[in-house]
Structure 1
Amino acid sequence: MSLNSAHAQGGVLIFAGERILIYYDGIEMAFDGPSSVPQMKGKKHGRVYLTTHRVIFNSKDGKDSMQSFSFPFLLMREVELEQPVFGANYIKGKIKSEPYGNWEGEAKFKMYFTHGGAIEFGKAMLTAASMASRNRPSQPPPYTPPMNPGFYAAPPPAYEPPRNSYYSWVPYGTFPDAPPAQSVYMSEAPPPYPGVDPNMTYPPPPTAATNGYDAKAQEAAASAYYDPYNGHNFYAPAAQNMAPPTYPSAPPPAYSEASKKSN
């Protein structure tokens, strides 16, 4: 788990090849971390992202000393779903720090879903964590602090729902929304831990318009190579013993279209 390493330009920062599966605006996070890390105390409000490799929390308070928090699946412990008689459902657990994560030790966390969806999010998160644990390589790639390399506006497939059988466990009907436009950025570094898809490939960084501040130019540059129907994509074949994905003849629907279908 890392502190203040998963945000950029007021948005979320993901690794090269990482993909956002669920976006939820309205999360309340409660942290109980080491006394040496004052940022990890009390309740905070913001957005949460379930990705192919981890859970990311971004704070809505631009003045908060904690702007982002990263929860890699392999560092979570004792994760449970609580359904109190009074109050919102929440997910609780423990998380360990990761190398160069801006803090050390172990912390407790609680994720309150103020608009519902805790059960669906929790089940999807546990499924993703189980799949990632099976895909752990014998020699994981070396960890690189995500803020050190450059970053650029993420190509749209990084935050569009992968509508195929491999991701059938993701509750898109419950979470149809996409992150706000020009709020998803991608690091040049690949994920330092496994994700749900063992066949995932890492896209190269754009060769032009490398200024991370120009989101429109970055997205245009990225789209030149980011084709979801060639060999360098996130629509990879399914893992062994799982049904292979069914590729559509047209690009997957945008979140806005998915929302219409679910309403």
Structure 2
Amino acid sequence: MSINTAHAQGGVLIFAGERILLYCDDVEMGFDGDHQPEFKGNKKGRLYLTTHRVIFNSSSSKEAMQSFSMPFYCMRGIELEQPVFGANYIKGKLVSEQGGKWQGVVKIKMWFTAGGAIEFGQAMLRAGQLASRYQVQQPPPYTPPQGPVYQAPPPMYTPQYDNYNWVPFGAFPTAPPAQQVYMTESPPPYSGIEPTAPPPPMNGHPQGADAKAREAASSAYYSPSAPHNVYMPQQAPNNVYMPQQAPNNVYMPQQFPSGAPPSYSDAVNKKNQ
């Protein structure tokens, strides 16, 4: 995880090839267990679930922590809490990543004052489970985003109904404001929920030897006249199970290969004992 590496020009900053699945306003985030200045006090802002991580962006420009990046493989003991009084929240621990300019373990809580904690948490757990399939035993040292920053193309943040139909898109706003989503040319430094795909064209100019193919794909998979019909040229491998509909009772393993969070159903069962 890293501090102040996932924001730009008042919005969120994602890697090339990373997609935003959900975003939620009116989230408050608190930290415990570390004395680093940026962790002091609760923070209010917006939360994003992407194909590679969870990102918190502060709503105040005066906050020392403008953004907080939480890759799935850094999460431990994530649970969803539903108190009788007060807003539902997500809690757990995060461990630092090599090269993330911070060392140790910090406890987190994320309150959803306008609702959505359960839906967001379930999607986050499923994304973490899927990402664990491609996780290497020892991820490379974290490298902050490098190079120019561009406004991200719409397919990087609009709902992908056909490809990610386990995501509860209907429980949240359709997509974050376009002027608040930015992208760097750097690829994600850790695995996501699908095999690594070539990055999209940046600022209208595709990169790499297959630039023409990428440019054709980018012009084909989004239509402004039909924003809810999105063609995704990258498809999941034939041997990867992508459920058509998230079942009511989803089994999530107690540990990912690196010790990932328990499932929502396990957390609820534990809470009701």
Pairwise TM-score range, normalised by the shorter structure: 0.7 to 0.9
Q: Does 1:197 align with 2:194?
A: yes
CA contact (8 A) 1:33 1:107 kept: yes
Give a deviation string over 1:137-188, Cα, whole Å, max 9, x none.
Answer: 4785664211x32211111111111120x31110011013321231100011
CA contact (8 A) 2:154 2:178 kept: no
Query: Post-superposition shift, 1:104?
Result: 1.7
Q: Does 1:160 align with 2:158?
A: yes
CA contact (8 A) 1:46 1:60 kept: yes
CA contact (8 A) 1:157 1:228 kept: no
Q: Find the partner of 1:181 among 164, 172, 178.
A: 178
- Match of 1:42, SS state, is coil
Q: Does 1:136 align with 2:135?
A: yes
Task: Give the structure-2-normalised TM-score.
Answer: 0.76
Query: Post-superposition shift, 1:5?
Result: 0.3
Unaligned runs of 5+ in 2: 206-213, 223-230, 245-273
Corresponding residue of 2:25: 25
Query: Post-superposition shift, 1:100?
Result: 3.2
- Match of 1:123, SS state, is helix
Q: Does 1:61 align with 2:53?
A: no
Query: Post-superposition shift, 1:80?
Result: 0.4
CA contact (8 A) 1:200 1:234 kept: no
Query: Post-superposition shift, 1:4?
Result: 0.3
Give a deviation string over 1:191-250, Cα, whole Å, max 9, x none.
Answer: 011111115322243466xxxxxxxxxxxxx988733549xx9552124242499xxxxx
Q: Which moved more, 1:95-104 or 1:233-242?
A: 233-242
Unaligned runs of 5+ in 1: 209-221, 246-263
CA contact (8 A) 2:201 2:215 kept: no
- Distance in structure 2 (CA, Å) of the matches to 1:228 and 1:163: 16
Q: In percent, how many aligned pairs have the same letter?
A: 59
Query: Post-superposition shift, 1:103?
Result: 1.9
CA contact (8 A) 1:238 1:244 kept: no
User: How many pairs align?
Assistant: 227
Counterpart residue identity of residue 24, structure 2: Y
Q: Does 1:226 align with 2:218?
A: yes
Counterpart residue identity of residue 227, structure 1: S
